[in-house]
Amino acid sequence: MNPVIRREFFGILRSPKALAVLVALTAVFSAAVLMYWPADASVDLSGKTSIHVFRIFGYGLLAGVVFLVPAFPATSIVNERNSGTLALLLNSPLSAASIYFGKLSGVLLFSLLVLLCSLPASAACYAMGGIGLWDQLGMLYLVLFLLVVQYVTIGMLVSSYVQSSDAGVRITYAIVLGLLFATLLPAAFIRGTGGWGTALGSVASAIRCLSPLPAVMEIMRHSDVVSTGLKESSNTSGFLLASILSSVIFAGLTLSRLNYRIFDRSRSQGVMTDERGLLARIVRRLVYIVDPQRRKRGIPWYLNPVMVKEFRCRRFGRSQWLLRLVAVCAVVSLVLTFLAATSVTSWGVDRIGSLLVLLQVVLIVVLTPSLASGLISSELDSGGWDLLRLTPLSSVRIVFGKILSVFWTLALVLLATLPGYLMMIMIQPSMWLQVKLVLICLAWTAAYALAVSAAIGSLFRSAAVSTTIVYIVVIALFLAPLLIWLGRDAPFGHDTVQKALLITPVGAALNVIEAPGFENYTLLPAAWWIAGAVTALMALVLGIQVWRLTRPV
């Protein structure tokens, strides 16, 4: 047996976290089936109940794979490299391929265990009747298995490029969420007919195949997501092909890096624009607007130095990257509204508004854990926390500076989407009140996500662990109500869905903008009160944790 497989697999299995994951998943799946297992003697000949249970089970399993699987491969190679053991492995008689496939198999075996834990529950679903063994149950497991392979290969590829494990986790989750949701967007808008339009439409459909969501929805016999008109090809087979192809490409790319190249790291020679000639300085000013190689002036007295430090030590927190991010958000928001205004799609302003809200929520969910989860844990990890404690800065000022750095980034991103709303108001002035309420909901969403990420992230000493846990918690908090909303007709009643949508202010935002399927709930102002209470609670947790970490003991 490949020694790397043994070490990776047993290494993961030995960790208490892995045991907790397996036990928790088994308990959740069993509980879900038990809740809907027929308690009376009546027989559901239509198989409606079992289909509902199967849907919850299937989407839950998909969510489990999306949340849990990327965390393991994302740190797999970078941890080995940083601890020096990758050099030892590459120096051993083991080939790069056997090291790679050893690590891949170790993580895959654990992921398979996760899937196996759900088998008793899926067998119970099948026993309830109304579900096809191969075309539904078997296909679901095949899709999920290939999804696991795809995520593991992506995680390992990212892990071979990054310099720290938390960066690996952040980037992998961002890619995974991008593949899950962002790949659906081109197909939603490009419906060309003839010539270039057809070609673009085909490309958009191919990109859409990278997301497992249409395939799983097809297996669940749900209506298709972001598609209109007649269905041309099977989503499932498209995903199977796309996932196999993409996994092979990701594996090939990672394998090509498993040699001396993985240790290469370019080091800046410290050439600054200030020392270049006048012409070079002018050219760089025109190209960059904010030149990353220009010497920065000192931190002014009126700014919190910790906030400035946080911006400066984030690769994408530098001004030039923030400007680019804001520009992209503004353009996307304007394009969405422009499409609605020029009636390129059959969707009205309401639907475009929903998409804008979803775009902002996805941005918040992807960005906030990445920015806020490591506020404390990354300092503990790097030894910077003690250095900060030794400065005359109070702990309140330190934490406030850190939170401000996340706040301003989120605010910039959210503000960048305002032009889209302004255009919506120009098209339909009656929407002003709706837009105002939506913006308040989104502000609460951002505050909520920030507070949860910062508070939960502060409970861990390792940045990689805190990033993983925070991503799981935040995605679960934002996605779970939507999963329950999907079962709004059955098995969940109107009240249950309404209560679930109150968990985060996203439901309220979609409700206010009258997104299809969200119109019939009354979520305001209760959603704001709940968001406020959760934010306050999380702020309290963060405060207590910071107090614990700063007092001399």
Partner 1 sequence: MTDPEVVVQTHDLTKQYGEFTALDSLSMQVGRGQILGFIGPNGAGKTTTIRILVGLLKPTSGSASIAGADCLQDARKIRRLVGYMPDDFGSYNNMRVSEYLDFFGAAYGIGRRRRTERIDEVLEITHASHMKDLFVDALSRGMQQKVAIARTLMHDPQVLILDEPANGLDPQARIEMRGMLLRLSGLGKTLIVTSHILPELARVCDLVAMITKGKLRAFGTVDDIMRNVRQRRTFEILLLQHDQVDRVAALVRDWFQQHAAQETSGQTDVTGAEAEMMVRFSTSLNDQAISPLLGHLVSRGEPVAQFREVTADLEDAFLSVAGSDDTTPGSDSQAAADATEAAAAERRSSHPTGPTKETPSR
CB-CB contact of 530 with 504 (8 Å)? no
Task: Tell me the C-alpha distance between 18 and 110, whole Å.
Answer: 9
Does 429 interact with partner 1 (rule: CB under 8 A)?
Answer: no
Does 461 interact with partner 1 (rule: CB under 8 A)?
Answer: no
Q: In the stretch 386-415, what mask flags binding to partner 1 with x, by CB under 8 A?
A: xxxxxxxx----------------------
Two tokens, residue 424: 């919506």
Grouping H, G, I as helix, E, B as strand and the rest as coil, residue 348 is: coil
Provide the terminal-to-terminal Cα distance of the chain, rounded to the nearest Å.
Answer: 49
CA–CA distance from 101 to each of 70, 97, 248 (Å)?
17, 6, 12
Does 315 interact with partner 1 (rule: CB under 8 A)?
Answer: yes
Does 271 interact with partner 1 (rule: CB under 8 A)?
Answer: yes
Please tell me whether the peptide bond between 525 and the residue prior to it is cis, using omega within 30 degrees of 0: yes
By the 10 Å C-beta count (0-12 exposed, 13-18 middle, 19+ buried), 483 is classed as middle
Closest approach of Cβ 156 to partner 1, in Å?
22
Provide CB contacts within 8 A for 61, sequence distance 6+: 29, 115, 118, 140, 144
CA 549 distance to own-chain centroid: 29
Closest approach of Cβ 471 to partner 1, in Å?
20
Closest approach of Cβ 552 to partner 1, in Å?
4
Q: Which stretch binds partner 1 (CB under 8 A): 9-17, 279-287, 333-341, 379-387?
A: 379-387
Q: Using CB under 8 A, pick the residue from 109, 142, 299, 341 that binds partner 1.
A: 299
Q: Using CB under 8 A, pick the residue from 48, 285, 296, 461 that binds partner 1.
A: 296
Q: Using CB under 8 A, pick the residue from 133, 196, 264, 297 that binds partner 1.
A: 297
**In the 3-class helix/strand/coil scheme, how is 21-85 assigned residue by residue?**
HHHHHHHHHHHHHHHHCCCCCCCCCCCHHHHHHHHHHHHHHHHHHHHHCCHHHHHHHHHHHHHCH
CB-CB contact of 150 with 250 (8 Å)? yes
Helices (H) and strands (E) in the chain, counts: 26, 0
Please compute Rg for the chain using Cα positions: 25
Closest approach of Cβ 82 to partner 1, in Å?
12
Q: Using CB under 8 A, pick the residue from 34, 116, 272, 280 that binds partner 1.
A: 272
Residue closest to 216 by CA, chosen among 207, 229, 225, 204 = 225
Task: Tell me the C-alpha distance between 89 and 74, whole Å.
Answer: 19
Q: Which stretch binds partner 1 (CB under 8 A): 22-30, 172-180, 289-297, 474-482?
A: 289-297
Closest approach of Cβ 405 to partner 1, in Å?
13
- Closest to partner 1 by CB, 166 vs 350, is 166
Closest approach of Cβ 86 to partner 1, in Å?
19
- Closest to partner 1 by CB, 367 vs 530, is 367
Closest approach of Cβ 268 to partner 1, in Å?
5
Question: What is the number of other CB atoms lying within 10 angstroms of the CB of residue 143?
Answer: 24
CB-CB contact of 216 with 62 (8 Å)? yes
**Which residue type is seen at 152?**
V
Q: In the stretch 225-264, what mask flags binding to partner 1 with x, by CB under 8 A?
A: ----------------------------------------
Does 83 interact with partner 1 (rule: CB under 8 A)?
Answer: no
Does 301 interact with partner 1 (rule: CB under 8 A)?
Answer: yes
CB-CB contact of 388 with 306 (8 Å)? yes
Q: Using CB under 8 A, pick the residue from 6, 48, 285, 312 that binds partner 1.
A: 312
Residues 12-71 that bind partner 1 (CB under 8 A): none
Does 84 interact with partner 1 (rule: CB under 8 A)?
Answer: no
- Closest to partner 1 by CB, 313 vs 533, is 313
- Closest to partner 1 by CB, 221 vs 312, is 312
CB-CB contact of 254 with 100 (8 Å)? yes
Interface size with partner 1, residues (CB under 8 A) = 38
Grouping H, G, I as helix, E, B as strand and the rest as coil, residue 503 is: coil
Q: In the stretch 464-493, what mask flags binding to partner 1 with x, by CB under 8 A?
A: ------------------------------
Q: Using CB under 8 A, pick the residue from 84, 265, 278, 433 that binds partner 1.
A: 265
CB burial of 443-460 (b: ≥16 within 10 Å; e: otherwise) equals bbbbbbbbbbbbbbbbeb
Closest approach of Cβ 369 to partner 1, in Å?
18
- Closest to partner 1 by CB, 303 vs 533, is 303
Q: Using CB under 8 A, pick the residue from 196, 295, 342, 346 that binds partner 1.
A: 295
Closest approach of Cβ 266 to partner 1, in Å?
9
Using CB under 8 A as the criterion, which residues of the chain lie in contact with partner 1 when the complex forms?
163-164, 265, 267-268, 270-272, 295-301, 305-306, 308-309, 312-315, 318, 382-384, 386-393, 551-553
